[in-house]
Chain A
Amino acid sequence: MSREELEKRFQEKIDAEIKIEPKDWMPERYRRNLIRQISQHAHSEVVGMLPEGNWITRAPTLRRKVALLAKVQDEAGHGLYLYSAAETLGISREEMIEQLLSGKAKYSSIFNYPTLTWADIGAIGWLVDGAAIMNQVMLTRTSYGPYARAMVRICKEESFHQRQGYEIMLTLARGTEVQRQMAQDALNRWWWPALMMFGPSDKDSVHTAESMKWKIKRKTNDELRQQFVDVTVPQAEYLGLTIPDPDLKWNEARGHYDFGEIDWEEFWRVVKGNGPCNHLRMKARREAHEKGAWVREAALAYAEKRRQRQQQKAS
């Protein structure tokens, strides 16, 4: 079959909502686009453990400590499913981690902001997991089977994280004045970075058109961002907190909230590595990897010794 014919059939399958599976033929660009996206997603889960992990040892009650530990552990699990999903496309986890540590692969910029107070843990759950859900619910219908199935599992946990984060915010907002201020300050600092999580505006997004054609993505960055704002504004109102955007207002004609312009200069600065924590996040991942090297080597060496001993016994 000619290449054109293969590509035509591939697109027909996509259009007919038939999932693409690992053994199916796929255009090289589809495969590479997916590897990029899934591995970036996996790295985000793993790097995302760091800002919240920063508060595990300082969680204010034992109940909160257990909940936060379990949440960060879930993110490690998400990283694992996603690395496995990416491996079905013919790349190994080691290669992907190498790409992360060398700076070749990206991860979500949101995790390059610091968690300064306990309220940041609430704000991350509420806003960051909340924004992630918008994206991930869409991805449960993505065209690549293993990715879509990984997302179904992950989404259930993310919505739990979002509720948990919101509940922390609610407790603070209904607490003392100091706690309310802590919550407002966290919202002030996390709001705009959360909006940036959806990526560049559609007119500037290099991957969107192709990703939409192949149904890797099914909504554009701007559509998702709007959806997030529409859902989140009433939640902030219920908390009695103010979203730090003077241009935010309900637009009756559109049936959506209008909101102010994102600081794209900040967006690109953080993407390019100059956010407040980029170097610290990479340092932490690199250190964990390097300090763990002897453990991974020893585990392999021991497994090999055991295999040999069993073989000797058998013969």
Chain B
Amino acid sequence: MTQQEALFQYLLRLGDNALILGQRLSEWCGHAPVLEQDIAITNLALDLIGQARNWLTLAGEVEGKGRNEDQLAYLRDARDFHNLLLVEQPNEDWAHTIVRQFLFDQFNYLLHNELQHSTDERVAAIAAKSLKEIKYHLKYSSEWMVRLGDGTEESHNRMQRALDALWRYSSEAFLTDEIDQLMAEAGIGPDLHKLEPLYHQYVAQVLDEATLQPPTDTYMQRGGKQGLHTEFLGYILAEMQFLQRAYPNMQW
């Protein structure tokens, strides 16, 4: 694999994480528990889809085959998507949505914090811009973790159930493969091994404040980064890509 090929895949991972999570969050629009949170969760979706556009546009440029953000978002099938399994998991209830967000945000924050110093200036620029938004996302999801974990008995139980269900997807981000390695060697991306302890430290701190128990003895699922997804992704794409697939080659 050349460095350029690795960078292309790496950018798809970044873009697809933001796109698929943004798509999931946008399902809440009009249906959130209270108007203020409808607006807030939509802000997160807007930020993420905006970030996805930047990453996918850059991915298309790096690939050099003339594909733009929409061709990458709308005309790839599930096996060519490289997002984490975590972000494609369904919204379920507000508890699952918040736990998924929190587990992702902390990783995403650490990642972008490093990427802003990337040797690739284009990567550094997008990361620096996204980082401001991601910091806010992390604050938002961390606050909700505590509020609901330490809220009522019902909210606590729901949060614990969501955490138990989603925990198995929390470590995939740190499993290093050839692409991560090539990117780290080139100074484009960080050494994920160094980020993992920071992640667990912060997560443990918030869970403690939220009076939630981190599950033990969980097998960590993996595969999304390499294009092996859960069954959910196919449905996300079927919905998202409908118009482009039903009416090919048109301007919208």
Contacts and interface: CB of A to CB of B under 8 A. Distances in A.
B226 interface: no
16 contacts: A57-B240, A58-B242, A59-B243, A60-B244, A61-B70, A64-B252, A66-B53, A73-B38, A76-B30, A175-B251, A176-B250, A284-B30, A287-B31, A292-B32, A294-B155, A305-B150
A179 interface: yes
Interface in A34-63: 46, 49-50, 53, 56-63
A62 B30 contact: no
A294 B158 contact: yes
Interface stretch (B43-51, B78-86, B101-109, B192-200): B43-51
Contacts of A69: 26, 29, 42, 45-46, 49
Interface stretch (A216-224, A240-248, A269-277, A296-304): A296-304
B243 A60 contact: yes
Contacts of A292: 32-34, 94
Contacts of B35: 46, 76, 79-80, 83
B247 A178 contact: yes
B26 A299 contact: no
B29 A56 contact: yes
Given A62-B52, A69-B26, A291-B93, 15 more contacts: A56-B26, A62-B69, A64-B252, A66-B49, A66-B53, A69-B49, A70-B46, A73-B42, A76-B39, A175-B251, A284-B31, A295-B33, A295-B37, A296-B33, A298-B148
Contacts of A126: none
A271 B152 CA distance: 40
Interface of B: 19, 23, 26-27, 29-39, 42-43, 45-46, 49-50, 52-53, 56, 69-70, 73-74, 93-94, 146-148, 150-152, 154-155, 158, 239-240, 242-244, 247, 250-252
Contacts of B94: 291-292, 295
Interface string A158-170: 0000000000100
Nearest to A182: B247
A49 B154 CA distance: 29
A284 B30 CA distance: 9
Interface of chain A, main secondary structure: helix
A40 B35 CA distance: 16
A288 B33 contact: yes
Given A62-B52, A288-B31, A298 B151 contact: yes
Contacts of A83: 35
Contacts of A171: 251-252
Contacts of B33: 288, 291-293, 295-296
A64 B138 CA distance: 26
Nearest to B158: A294
A62 B34 contact: no
A294 B154 contact: yes
A124 interface: no
B147 A62 contact: no
Nearest to A47: B30
Interface residues of A, number: 47
A19 interface: no
Given A57-B26, A62-B69, A76-B39, A301 B46 contact: no
Contact of A57 (B27, B36, B147): B27
B18 to A, nearest CB: 11
B154 A60 contact: no
A299 B95 CA distance: 12
B119 to A, nearest CB: 28
A65 B243 contact: no
A77 interface: yes
A72 interface: yes
8 closest A-B pairs by beta carbon, nearest first, are A292-B33, A298-B151, A298-B155, A53-B30, A60-B252, A49-B30, A295-B33, A60-B243
Interface in A172-208: 172, 175-176, 178-179
Which of A70, A176, A298 has the most B CB atoms < 10 Å from its CB?
Answer: A298
B29 A297 contact: no
A180 to B, nearest CB: 11
A107 interface: no
A69 B154 CA distance: 31
A139 to B, nearest CB: 21
Residue of A57, A62, A175, A179 contacting most chain B CB atoms (<10 Å)? A62
B30 A298 contact: no
A62 B26 CA distance: 12
A140 to B, nearest CB: 23
Given A62-B73, A69-B49, A299-B147, A57 B158 contact: no
A297 B155 contact: yes
Contacts of B239: 57-58
